[in-house]
Chains A and B, each alone.
Chain A
Amino acid sequence: MPKLNPPEAKTNSPGSNTLIQIESLSLHYGESKALKNISLTLGEKVVTAFIGPSGCGKSTLLRCLNRMNDLIDNVRIEGSCKIGGHDIYSPDVDVIELRKRVGMVFQKSNPFPKSIYENVAYGLHLHGSKSKPEIAAVVEQSLRSAALWDEVKDRLHASALGLSGGQQQRLCIARAIAIKPEIILMDEPASALDPLATARIEELILELKKDFTIVIVTHNMQQAARISDQTAFFYIGELIEFDSTAKIFTNPAKKQTEDYVTGRFG
């Protein structure tokens, strides 16, 4: 099994290193075009929010970044998407390796019907034969990072399905970070949660930002404003505006953006 590459030297100022580079990317689901000529550059250890009305292609773009769209029949992609300089759609790319580097948290929490411990250890079992204590250490560390450890440490071997919705979602985050990805994609991770659980997830994201590059899709303007450094606004498959979050929410360049952003605030 190939070992994880040692993390490359990283500067501490966010965004100074380009990590993800999307260039004129278009995507078709069969006949219908879901993404139109998107170009976007995201820096390392930055939280980027994708906002826009539902159906505008946020999830689709997000799923391009770890090639989850490969699983859908009849998807056609044009343009390029580079992560760390490699075009992830070039034929020599191993999708499996890619997905190890680019973790994902889904809108609907989807823990495996296994124990809490097994959920977090799943990815570790897949990728290399670590010893038992090593795995246990990583599981604990991941659960701590996901701010779940204290709540579950006494029932690690109970079923994950017994957790509350918010806990399940944090478990999914723990599961994703256990394999130490560089990028975490989150597709409306808090949309199904109550305000309290949402707040905890938001706290968690701010915490995780120190170690990971995060791309998050959200419906919630306030959430985007609170947690992201940069925001991209999409409308019917097009990228309308992409800038620092402060700029998007206070002084957007485009009328459309302003309407959307203020409409929600109103």
Chain B
Amino acid sequence: MSATTRRHFRAEKFDFSSFFFTGLTGLATLLILAILAVILGNILINGWQGFTWHFVSTIPKKNFFDINTTGVLPMIVGTTIRVFVMTIFVVPIGVITAIYLTEYAPNNSLITKFIRAAVNNLAGVPSIVFGLFGLGFFINFIGKHMDAMLQNPSAVWGQPALIWAALTLAVMTMPVVIVATEESLKAIPPGLREASLALGATKLETILRVVLPQALPGIMTGGILAVSRAAGEVAPILFTGVAYYMASLPHRVTDQFMDLGYHVFVLSTQSPNIEQTRPILYATVVVLLLLTFALNLVAIIIRARVRKKLRALG
């Protein structure tokens, strides 16, 4: 390149509109990052002091607004159990659906399209509608009929309960598991399936012995994402199982439970003195965030690793 063209090239390099709009979009990015930083920073700064061992290991008395004696053990337990029970239902169903879609479903058949459309729609249904569904279907329909069939003198199943909240959440998080599993199944080189089939393995054997072990990280990611999504959700459990206060931990699936997210809601909207209870509110938020963020982070890391590994293999 000659000196003249190089100078010419450099002269045109500064372009005001380019500079301006790059700056503008960059600013948008920065602003979003700043929002995230401010939210997290504010919560951590105000919340870390209240986050003590006593706080996370205490079952509070009826007046949980009392800043000295309160604790969040039942909420941690309730949230954990409801999410765990949910996983038992959603992971198998989600994984099997994903297996059907990638391994069995004929391409572009009507039923495949329907399933995909249903999964997409399920992902967009508002969480409060899941709550209504849980109330209308699980409690008022299934639960009431179970009570009638078992001839229970009073409602056992036909009332808000841990199991119904978990099932409602399972329906809600199904798309998360399906999409994550499908993604990881699709990333498995078709050559591996062919190799197995050419050795005389049946389709099922191929799936169980070759495909699923490979997809395991993806399935785990899906499960974790579902858990972290469900752990913070409040709307779907409002009418399906959460309790304002319970003196003891839940020990049957038909029990109600206390919940971290719902507790944040209660503490922020029903506190007799918001200034005074602010520390426990912040500390509760920290606990909730730690729970959901830790899960999210793990999922993101696993996904990144698996992608890198698969890229290296492919």
**Chain A residues within CB distance 8 Å of chain B:** 66, 68, 71, 73, 96-100, 103-104, 106, 108, 110-113, 122-123, 125-127, 161, 172, 175-176, 179
Contact = CB atoms under 8 A, between A and B. Distances in A.
Contacts of A96: 200-202
Contacts of B197: 68, 71, 99
B83 to A, nearest CB: 31
Interface of B: 106-107, 189, 191-192, 194-202, 205, 209-210, 214, 313
B211 to A, nearest CB: 11
A110 B188 CA distance: 11
Contact of A97 (B195, B199, B200): B200
Given A68-B194, A126-B201, A172-B195, 5 more contacts: A103-B198, A103-B199, A111-B195, A127-B200, A175-B199
B46 to A, nearest CB: 48
Given A113-B313, A126-B205, A100 B200 contact: yes
Given A96-B202, A127-B200, A106 B106 contact: no
Chain A interface, >50% SS class = helix
Nearest to A71: B197
Chain B interface, >50% SS class = helix
B306 to A, nearest CB: 12
11 contacts: A71-B194, A100-B199, A106-B194, A106-B198, A110-B191, A110-B192, A110-B195, A111-B195, A123-B200, A175-B199, A179-B199
Contacts of B200: 96-100, 123, 126-127, 179
A169 B106 CA distance: 31
Contacts of B106: 73
B192 to A, nearest CB: 6
B196 A66 contact: no
Nearest to B201: A126
Contacts of A123: 199-201
B277 to A, nearest CB: 54
Nearest to A175: B199
Contacts of B195: 106, 110-112, 172, 175
A104 B198 contact: yes
